[in-house]
Amino acid sequence: MNVVVMRAGSWGATLAGVLAKNGHTVTLVAPHESLRRELIEYRENRSALPGVRIPESVRIVATPDGEIDVADAVLFPGPCDRMREMARDAVRCVGNASQWDNRLVITAAKGIAPDTLQRMSEVLGEELRSDAARIVALSGPSFARYVGLEHPTGVVAASGDNEKTKATQRLFGNENFRVYRSSDTLGVELGGALKNVIAIAAGMCDGLGLGDNSRAALMTRGLAEITRLGVAMGADSRTFAGLSGMGDLVLTCSGRESRNHHVGEEIGRGRRLDDVLREMVTVAEGIETTRSAVTLARKYGVEMPIAEHVHAVLFEGQRPKDAVTSLMVREPKPEQWA
């Protein structure tokens, strides 16, 4: 297949490599000149993913002009705050908007727009003037570095169109990258986005030096919060026990490659959010998703105390230690899942 990857960030470049190794014709869009030159010259992002090579067969270009109109599949890897911009760049390259329904459109970004509360498939559906239910969401426990190093990884492709999820399995699947499929796009996208909020909280626990007991309890109750909200919004509760729910949560709350965990850990150590972000090369999607999570919880009448306290620490000046204490002294209640 002829595939265009719409952004050459860590995840986009890594997935472009997977696709190229699978024998597809891949074009990677790198609009920033300095990064584009680096990727072309060294075939790797030396600051974000040193040692992860981009195959020579991947074409690296400045814009998608002349590429989208001949593409069989278009991948939108994020970051989430650039999703509309990427979609509009893609639309500009295609004369007939109805052609989007005939292409395989995939989002691999994990977030919820804080202004509209839309999932990334919904953002793409709106901008492409296409049926969001036919867009595929690719999610699961998959740090870019380990995918790039060809460590065995399992993810899930979700869409209301079963043929498109099957096509995504064929597109990406190989001996190191296994793709399952799901029809619960809502649950898959919510799990992938909301686990980042819990990962920030887990990082705060580690930054405070609270140890494994605290992190285990936090992750378990965090998954309960995610499931409660997902079910209230119409998702299948079983989805959150899968790769895009529990699987991604475990990885992001405990893996050292987690950007969201890193942010939380530094804040737990007493640093300011702005100072932490200023040093980061890549995006921690959970920061903006925390705003979305709290807004959605209030909209659907769902209790999400961990997300509420992450929001209070990030944006309202609460101290991480006080957030932990507040969570622990709440009124005792039976354990509930959803």
DSSP per-residue codes, 166-198? HHHHHHH-BTTEEEEEES-HHHHHHHHHHHHHH
Query: Does some domain include residue 33?
Result: yes
pLDDT in tens, 146-164: 999 999 999 999 999 999 9
Instruction: Give yes or no for residue 123 having a pLDDT over 60.
Output: yes
Alpha-carbon 44 to chain mean position: 21
- What is the reported pLDDT for 194? 98
Q: Could you give the strand order of the β-sheet that contains 2-5, starting from the edge strand earlier in sequence?
A: 59-61, 25-29, 2-5, 73-76, 104-107, 136-139, 153-158, 177-182
Considering the domain architecture, whether residues 199 and 324 belong to the same structural domain is answered as: yes
- What is the reported pLDDT for 338? 65
Query: Does some domain include residue 336?
Result: no
Tokens (6 digits) for 107:
């989002």
Closest CA to 157 of 171, 186, 136: 136
- CA–CA gap between residue 237 and residue 157 (Å, rounded): 17
Which residues are annotated as catalytic? 195
Considering the domain architecture, whether residues 262 and 117 belong to the same structural domain is answered as: no
Cα Rg of the chain, angstroms: 19
- What is the reported pLDDT for 260? 95
Query: Does some domain include residue 337?
Result: no
Task: Give the range of the structural domain holding residue 278, as residue numbers without chain letter.
Answer: 192-328
Considering the domain architecture, whether residues 268 and 125 belong to the same structural domain is answered as: no
What do you get for the CA distance between the two ends of the chain, in Å? 41
- What is the reported pLDDT for 96? 55
Considering the domain architecture, whether residues 88 and 198 belong to the same structural domain is answered as: no
Cβ–Cβ < 8 Å for 222, 289: no
Tokens (6 digits) for 245:
């729910």
Mean pLDDT over residues 34-39, rounded?
95
pLDDT in tens, 51-82: 999 999 999 999 999 999 889 999 999 899 99
Residue type for position 250: V
pLDDT tier for residue 98 given thresholds of 50, 70 and 90: low
Considering the domain architecture, whether residues 130 and 200 belong to the same structural domain is answered as: no
